[in-house]
Amino acid sequence: MKKTLSEKEVIALTNRVLAESFEIEEERLLPEKRIFADLGLDSLDTVDLVVALQKRFSITIREDERVRSIRSLGDLYTYIMTVQQEQQAGTEG
Partner 1 sequence: MSPNDWRCGRDFVFDSGEIAKTVARRGLLALEIEVDPGGDVREIWDVVGQAKALGARCVSIVGDEPMGHAEVLDLVSRICSLRMQVAMFTDGAGMSAEVARFLLANEVRVILRLASGRAGLRKQLTEPGGHCGGLPEAFRSLRDAGYPARNGVLGVSVIVGAENYAELPSFWRWLREEDLEPHFELPKAPVNGARSWQSPVRAHELHSMLRVLAESDRSFGGLEWLPQPPIAGSACVRNRVSCFVTASGSVMPCQGVRISIGSVREKSLAELLRESEILQDLRDFADTIRGPCVDCEQFGRCHGCRGTAFRLTGDYLASDPLCWRNADRQAEIECLPCGVAGVVPHQKPMRLVETLVSIGERNAVVELVVPEDGPFIAASGVLERAAYPEIVAQAAAAWNGFKSRRHDGLPRGYLLGIKRFRFDGAARAGDRLVVSLFKVARFGDFGIMEGKVSKGTHVLARGEIKVWHENPRQTQGRRFPSDRESVVSGVSAPPELPTG
Residues in the site for partner 1, rule: CB under 8 A? 44, 46-48, 50-51, 54, 58, 60-63, 87, 90-92
**Residues 6 or more apart from 58 whose CB is under 8 A from it?**
2
CB of 83 to partner 1, least distance (A): 11
CB of 92 to partner 1, least distance (A): 5
Separation between Cα atoms, residue 37 and residue 83, nearest integer Å: 24
CB of 38 to partner 1, least distance (A): 21
Q: Which is nearer to partner 1, 8 or 90 (CB)?
A: 90
Separation between Cα atoms, residue 34 and residue 22, nearest integer Å: 15
